[in-house]
Structure 1
Amino acid sequence: MTENFDRLAFSPQEYLARRDALRAIMAGRGIDVVVLTSTENTYYLTGFGSLAYGATALVMRADGKAIWVMRRTELSNVRALADQLWVNEGLGVVDGQDFSKVLDGAIADVGGPNAVLAVEFAATLPSLRGFLGPVAGARKVVDASGLVEHLRRIKSPAEIALLRRAGAIVARSCRDGFEALHEGMTDSALAAVVTDSLLRNGSGRVAQMPNVCAGPRTARAHVTWCGAPIRRGEVINVEPAASVHDYHTPLYRIYSIGEPQDLVRRMFDVCRDALNEGYARVRPGMTSHEAARVFETVVEKAGFGEYMVTRPAYSIGASFPPGWGEDNVMAIRAGNEQVLEEGMCFHICSCLYMDGIGCVPASMPSVLTKNGFEPLADDEVVFGVK
């Protein structure tokens, strides 16, 4: 029997439960029709994750009736999955046709002329900007940004299982990179090893290529390989993410060929201490701000506070290009008063960025349980030295 490689990530019941959770929010806010354009949000609701070349929108009525509006050629993906998707009808936009007019017609058909319409302003495609102007006077238009993100904050057991699978793959890729590391190697060659390992061990398409870099350049956020030789004693950063059904688990590791300077060792120890303190103390019911201060206080007391320029953790889950994070869904950061709950998944990444030295990380993808964080990757947080 031939395996169905187009099988959706979860059962039909899980997608229908997500749809109905959104319908409940719509009913509570008096929304008749919602227009979703975020790929992550439509994928979460339906399981359809094709990266369309052109605008794509999901139009859904409060009773669950829904239709796709997308480039006509992309409808081939909807047809292929029609027996699995709870929304399998679509309107194709011919190349050169005005997307906004087709979308406006779909909204009128689904919701009628006086529907209260909610549109994701925070994820609005350029083609929708032209659409919103003329219809604003005819319909009440409200902001749908954050509706689906609110549902995405807490991962189901099935979602967490995918993140664990991706965690095993990404941990293997980092170990393979370290094993291949040798003097005279270029950062590009190291990146090739890490990327090859991801694919050989089962990762799907990744939303962002790995960040692989060495030396003081690592202090430049998200700078990656450039063909530079890796020199003895300098900081080496390897940060890939593996993808299973587009659920991404990242991992950030630090290596060196030969002993690094003492300052770098101290920086790593502080970052690892902050990570360990978060594991020991952060629990559901704390605010994001309170949790962030657990990590940050360790770094500040050690005298490195000015070099911790990022939030301690960001949400992870289903992601599409250009990045693998869900910072707009949830994050552990100072000033954020959202409450942490069981089932939230994060990439915890205590990092110090020091010009002239580089970036020193201590990272672990994690799920928050009632007893605290649990790792999503089978990997030790160590400074790898060859």
Structure 2
Amino acid sequence: MQESFGAAEVIRDGVREADAIAEIVATLVHGANGKSGTSLAIPHLCSSPRTGASHITWSEDVFRQGSQINLEISGVRHGYTAPISRTFSIGRSSERLRRVHEAQVAGLEAALSTIRAGRTCSDVAEAAYRAIERLGFKKESRCGYPVGIDWTEPTPA
């Protein structure tokens, strides 16, 4: 059995995005804790300066000191998809990235506290946007997406 590598072990200075994703995909296929997936969703990975674009795939770029890396992978078992997104920094994160992280956490917490019967997806997104703006940032992209069978379900209103 091939040795499995976690993303944090292969995302490091001097490694090509393509090589890192190859190791990550191998781990997804072989599985962890004795359980392999039954399918594979295309992983998304990008590093600075392309991190503003969501859901793009890896390139031949090389991770460097100070890089921000966005990774979104998914476990797929019998058609059900469970995505997870992580952001990595090589070396110490910049002050701006730390502030963006704090704003995103505040937005997530505001969104989660808004979810209840009778609220729309728009209500939840607006709560997140307001929390992020209070910390000095403006989110100009969507605020999440529904997940179910396959990577995404048709978007609710």
TM-score range, shorter chain: 0.7 to 0.9
28, 39, 57: which one pairs with 1:224?
57
Q: Which aligned pairs between 1:187-336 and structure 2 lie closer than 5 A? A: 187-201=17-31, 202-206=36-40, 208-305=41-138, 308-319=139-150, 324-326=151-153, 328-330=154-156, 336=157
CA RMSD of aligned residues (A): 1.9
Q: Kindly provide the amino acid, as one letter, of the partner of residue 136 in structure 2.
A: G
The offset of 1:187, in angstroms, is: 0.8
Structure 1 outlier segments of 4+, above 4 Å? none
Does the Cα contact within 8 Å between 2:114 and 2:123 map onto a contact in 1? no
Q: Which aligned pairs between 1:1-386 and structure 2 lie closer than 5 A? A: 176-201=6-31, 202-206=36-40, 208-305=41-138, 308-319=139-150, 324-326=151-153, 328-330=154-156, 336=157
The offset of 1:294, in angstroms, is: 1.4
The offset of 1:230, in angstroms, is: 0.2
Structure whose CA Rg is larger: 1
Secondary structure of the corresponding residue to residue 277 of structure 1? helix
Secondary structure of the corresponding residue to residue 314 of structure 1? coil
The share of aligned pairs that are identical, in percent, is: 27
Q: Choose between structure 1 and 2: higher strand proportion.
A: 1
Secondary structure of the corresponding residue to residue 203 of structure 1? coil
CA distance 1:223–1:288, shift in 2 (3 Å): closer
Q: Choose between structure 1 and 2: higher helix proportion.
A: 1
Does the Cα contact within 8 Å between 1:282 and 1:294 map onto a contact in 2? no
Q: Greater relative contact order: 1 or 2 (C-alpha under 8 angstroms, separation 6 or more)?
A: 2
CA distance in 2, matches of 1:277, 1:185: 36
TM-score, scaled to structure 2: 0.85
CA distance in 1, matches of 2:60, 2:134: 38
CA distance in 2, matches of 1:329, 1:220: 19
What is the count of residue pairs matched by the alignment?
A: 150
The offset of 1:260, in angstroms, is: 2.0
CA distance in 1, matches of 2:126, 2:9: 36
The offset of 1:329, in angstroms, is: 4.5
CA distance 1:244–1:304, shift in 2 (3 Å): same
The offset of 1:254, in angstroms, is: 0.4
Does the Cα contact within 8 Å between 1:190 and 1:212 map onto a contact in 2? no
CA distance in 1, matches of 2:59, 2:111: 34
The offset of 1:245, in angstroms, is: 1.1
The offset of 1:243, in angstroms, is: 0.8
CA distance in 2, matches of 1:222, 1:277: 24
Query: Residue by residue, what CA displacement relative to the aligned partner does 1:143-193 show, whole Å, maximum 9, x if unpaired?
Result: xxxxxxxxxxxxxxxxxxxxxxxxxxxxxx9x8101333321111121112
Does the Cα contact within 8 Å between 2:12 and 2:64 map onto a contact in 1? no
